[in-house]
Amino acid sequence: MKKLFALLAAVLMIFSLAGCAKSNEPVDTGSTEGDVVKLEGLELQFVPSKDADVIIAGTEGLPELLSAALLEEGYEVPADKINITVGTNYDATGEGLAAGTIDLGWLPGGTYALYSDEVDVILTATRNGLSNDSENPADWNGEANKTLKNGPQVTFYRSLIYAAPTEYGKMLAEKVNNGEELTWDDLNGATWAVQKTSSSAGYIYPTMWLMDNYGKKLTDLQNLTVLDSGYGTAFAQAAAEQVDIIVCYADGRNDYELSWNLPIDQKDETGKQGMGREASIWDELNVIGVTKGIYNDTVAITEAKPEIYNPEFIAAIQNALINVINTEEGQAIFSVYSHTGYAKATDADYDGARQALKVVSE
């Protein structure tokens, strides 16, 4: 709560100087009945790092669980007034939080860093690490190197640069799998599909990978498309051989493994559209680059609404979400984001993300 206590102190000082008799009363956080604070509702929003319909279906039971958990913390919020939506893109969720039209948002670290002047982090996600964390891209390729989500709990993840099964993509993958170094000309000759500029795994860290290895940025590429509709579109374009390179978080192939091989007129059990490929995604979508570690996703809160942006409610929602994810039902809900736990966070935890965003923006 980086600015909250300073703000409250300033408000109390102003009231004191004005001679206000109520200067030491608490900030109004909503209607109360006994020891329970009643809130009319909450607007929750997830970024579209998965297909929107998959997120909505996966989080269907969250309002009931969160309502019950908040009541244990002294806040009454009707489950039918806890609304869950998916942003049209990452920036839309950040902007909604900044404006106060969204109360809580699940933001990647890079997106949070972009909006952190008006939005505050309250939780950091933890997740199961992968069976592979090699910095050598060839170690990620082939069915024998399929990644499993069975590693220890971690607070970071990586982004990978993937070569699609186009003729040009296969050439890039072959060079990497043979231990050859890719040149800038190799990469610049490819068609790329990336995410919005505030996406950590989909833009910021792939840019830093290019800068570290070639002294270039994504914006220096001659054939770059910035997608506005999430990773599902990137995988679909790779499967359709419309692009040579996509970028995604490291367990992206796990999430699209089934849909990769389904007929295009079918959907997998999570609602992902089939992509019509015959061979395994582990053989066809080869890793050609591995980024540095990215600090895990956030749960962030708007600073625009004093009824929720106060120490009492922040403590309550932190505890409530931690308690929810520690249940079997909560684990199933947040598996849509590969989150397996939440830890209380501070704004300073994301100084590295802010630095990365600054480097990319320069």
Confidence of residue 353 (pLDDT cuts 50, 70, 90): confident
Q: Is 9's pLDDT higher than 50?
A: no
Q: Is 31's pLDDT higher than 70?
A: no
Residues 226 and 246: their CA atoms lie apart, in Å, by 10
Q: What is the pLDDT of residues 238-253, one digit of tens each?
A: 999 999 999 999 999 9
Q: What is the pLDDT of residues 292-323, one digit of tens each?
A: 989 889 999 999 999 999 999 999 999 999 99
Averaged pLDDT, 110-132? 94
Mean pLDDT lowest for which of 73-77, 94-98, 146-150, 190-194? 146-150
Residues 103 and 54: their CA atoms lie apart, in Å, by 21
Give the angle subtended at the CA of 164 by the CAs of 163 and 166, to the nearest 5°: 115
Q: What percent of the chain has pLDDT above 70?
A: 91
Mean pLDDT lowest for which of 14-23, 138-147, 218-227? 14-23
Residues 337 and 59: their CA atoms lie apart, in Å, by 10
From the list 121, 120, 91, the residue with the least C-alpha distance to 198 is 91
Residues 178 and 167: their CA atoms lie apart, in Å, by 17
Q: What is the pLDDT of residues 158-208, one digit of tens each?
A: 999 999 999 999 999 999 999 999 999 999 999 999 999 888 899 999 999
Q: Is 13's pLDDT higher than 90?
A: no
pLDDT at position 356, please?
84
Average pLDDT value for the chain: 90
- What kind and span of H or E run contains 97? helix 90-99
56, 96 Cβ separation under 8 angstroms? no
Residues 303 and 1: their CA atoms lie apart, in Å, by 9
pLDDT at position 358, please?
84
| Whole-Å CA distances, 195 to 220, 227, 232, 266, 310 | 16, 5, 11, 25, 33
* DSSP letters spanning 196-242: -TT-IIIIIHHHHHHHHHHS--GGG-SSEEE-SS-HHHHHHHHHTTS
Collect all residues with Cβ–Cβ distance below 8 Å to 207 and sequence separation of at least 6: 217, 218, 360
pLDDT at position 16, please?
34
Q: Is 41's pLDDT higher than 50?
A: yes
Q: Is 339's pLDDT higher than 90?
A: yes
Q: What is the pLDDT of residues 254-293, one digit of tens each?
A: 999 999 999 999 999 888 999 999 999 999 999 999 999 8
pLDDT at position 95, please?
98
Joined together, the tokens standing for residue 279 give 């061979």
Q: How many CA atoms, within 13 angstroms, populate the side-chain half-sphere of residue 200?
A: 30
Averaged pLDDT, 113-126? 96
